Amino acid sequence: MEKLIVKFRKSSGNVKKGEDKLEVKGNYVSLQDRQESALVINFKAPEEEIMKISQFFSGPTDLEPIYMDLDDTGEVEYYFRGTTTPQEEGDIYKYSVTLQLRRGNL
């Protein structure tokens, strides 16, 4: 059985260098619903993976569109709201991103 993949795409970034897309293994991701259509995406992964994820999310500005696709079910448009600083917990790192569902998707 194949593993779940969560894909992210941003409207900025260098398309030729692949800086506009990110794929993360589902076992590194947990989703947390918040009020007012906000979604917190928690990542727990080895340092190398967290650094790649945090680099991807370091470029967007507040309210920039970010598209998320859970295991090829189709992209859903969110607005970027912010991140946390990567935190070390032994040999695993934690990092969180907050997105807000675009009103047109409600």
Q: Is the pLDDT of residue 12 over 80?
A: no
Q: What is the pTM of this model?
A: 0.86
CA angle 63, 65, 70 (to 5 degrees): 125
* Domains in the chain, CATH or no CATH each: 5-105 (2.40.30)
DSSP 5-57: EEEEEESSS-TTTTTTEEEEEGGGEEEEE-STTEEEEEEEE-HHHHHHHHHHH
CA angle 90, 95, 98 (to 5 degrees): 160
As a dihedral over the C-alpha atoms of residue 60, residue 64, residue 70, residue 72, rounded to 10 degrees, the angle is: -100
The pLDDT tens digits of the residues spanning 36-52 come to 789 999 999 999 999 99
